[in-house]
Chains A and B, each alone.
Chain A
Amino acid sequence: MNGAERVHLFLENAAKAAADTHSVSEPGGLLSALGRIVAIDSPVYCPGVTELEKAAAPLFAVRAADYAAAAVTVEEVFGAIAETGTLVCSSEGGRAVQAGLLPAHHVAIVRRDRIFDTLDDLFAAVASVPPTNLTLVTGPSRTADIELTLAIGVHGPEKLDIIVA
């Protein structure tokens, strides 16, 4: 699989899992995508630690210091898996994995060179020294506990946007 095929497969599978997907090619593209995705008056939690997060953070008028009080979390995640359309969130480097869980809207930025082909490739890379928390996220929070009817946004986000940058 070459780079373009990998990105394509990841976006296709993420969309199948009911994530909204976006692909941008330059820094300006990231900001305009975020501008479309995030409501202007929403309290946003953005860690502002990675380069991409530093670029994104000034965009948001209302910054929530604490993810528990935010309506939206915008963050760069550890990586992704093309096979399943999955985001990989890791606690490595002091990242709060639960920041992508509590707010109703999760906007995840993933760098295109951080997409693994398969689940096996991810585990081959991380299994020797796993972080305290490694969470795989595929689509928004969901349940089918009532009559096997799909309902979205149970305890985690009801909306998941993924931006490949």
Chain B
Amino acid sequence: MSPEQTSLAFRENTVRALKDPALRAAMKQATDTFGTKRADAFAPVADLEALRDRASAIRDDVQANLPMYVDRFVASATRAGATVHRAVDAAAAREIIRKILADRGAHRIVKGKSMVSEEVDLNSHLEAAGMEVVETDLGEYIIQMEGETPSHIIVPAIHKNRRQVGKLFADRLGAPYSDDPQVLTKIARKALREKFLSADAGISGANFAATDTGSLVLLTNEGNGRMVTSVPKLHVAILSVEKMLPSLTDLPAFLRLLPRSATGQTITSYVSIITGTRKAGDATGAKELHIVLVDNGRTEILAGESRDILKCIRCGACMNVCPVYRTVGGHSYGWTYPGPMGLILTTLLTGMKKSHPLVDASTLCGACVEVCPVRVPLVDLILGLRRRKVRERFSDPRERRGMEAFGKAAASPALFALGQRLAGAFWPVVRALGGKDVAGRMPAPAKTPLRRRLS
């Protein structure tokens, strides 16, 4: 079987996306807005570069000592009353969570936004076990109702416009049609409030985990994260292992960087710091807290040359500025994480055989590197994957042979000079074979090569 038949259909998806005017308008509006808001939010921050250096150094340390930090977190969280589970892969994560819920007779589940739960495809597994899983982040609620997956890691329904959402709510919730986001938000508030109050369990993700205190940190704006983690008596948190921060006192740097990078806010409306279960005398906190730490390939990434991607704090800034993402949208990438960080993580987690078309989804312009708050070397990582793609023979054979031939010619002055002379002589043939699309747009070779004119 050729690799093309099992790989992500990135090129086919982009062709479809480019022909969808509603999608392109939504993406342009959204990413333009994000760019302006982000710049405004960072403008008053003194010493931004020093702040980025500090955050980057902390994430370097976490990545360099990850097994130690994970062990430390497990010990601290356990001491605070949580039960910590280690899931080696997606199947293990799904099954651990299903069992926690099933053993306690939990059927009605409210869920906060969690990208790793999308990565391991948690919802369908719980639904197959007869549970009702309701996404409570407004964007996630919308796409769950539509049967879609997120197209952005921060704003999952970024690809939809207000009229599409209004029609969806009218059809599915029986609400009067409106295209006013404030009215639509109120409709969702009412429908979801009942779900929160009657839920048996809440499932959340986490933005960070502090290894000294065993605390989970969640940044949210809507309040659904607070509901999910504090209203039901059972709370299950799912997070990937690289979310560690050495200490809770490291958090301020990230509270200054993440919301500004993600949505252009100084800070999110809510930051919840949850340390263990409800203790004697407490009136807040789940009675039972289960924390599921998902590896699912991270240990392997850590051992390889692309390990710096584990520094990523999932702000989404890299996708908002990426000319490829802005044009084709998140669904074109075909898996959980889109944009520059997404194409890297997807390739590493799902393998080159499946993801090699994504490795081309970058112009290498470097805009992503300029905005990354923790200095993930995204362009270097993409170049590394491109080299791997060639090495593992997933690149187009014609491109590979062409490049190999050019490589040989360019390494020998005599061959190069011969090539230059031949190029001129054969140019009409090249144009005829290449057709209008390729060679037809290229300028003909100069009669006298630049090299000779300069010497």
Contacts and interface: CB of A to CB of B under 8 A. Distances in A.
Given A127-B249, A140-B269, A142-B221, A147 B213 contact: no
A148 B277 contact: no
A97 B252 CA distance: 21
A91 B282 contact: yes
B271 interface: yes
Contacts, number: 178
Given A101-B226, A145-B137, A17 B266 contact: yes
A132 B256 contact: no
B272 A135 contact: yes
A119 B248 CA distance: 11
B273 A156 contact: no
A140 B182 CA distance: 14
Interface string A84-95: 111000010111
A123 B252 contact: yes
Contacts of B155: 144-145, 148
Interface residues of B, number: 68
Interface string B252-290: 100110000001001111111111111101111100000
A122 B139 CA distance: 32
B227 A155 contact: yes
22 contacts: A84-B266, A85-B266, A91-B282, A95-B283, A97-B284, A120-B249, A123-B249, A127-B249, A130-B215, A132-B276, A137-B269, A145-B155, A145-B222, A146-B138, A146-B142, A147-B162, A148-B30, A151-B181, A153-B189, A154-B138, A154-B221, A154-B223
Nearest to A150: B181
A143 B279 contact: no
A156 B270 contact: yes
A139 interface: yes
Contact of B138 (A127, A133, A139, A143): A143
Given A130-B273, A148-B155, A156-B226, A91 B284 contact: yes
A101 B269 contact: no
Contacts of A84: 266-267
Contacts of B139: 143, 145-146
Contact of A138 (B160, B182, B268, B283): B268
Interface in B10-44: 26, 29-30, 33-34
Contacts of B226: 97-98, 101, 135, 155-156
Contact of B230 (A86, A97, A145, A146): A97
Interface in B128-177: 136-139, 142, 155-158, 160-162, 165
Given A95-B284, A145-B137, A146-B165, A132 B278 contact: yes
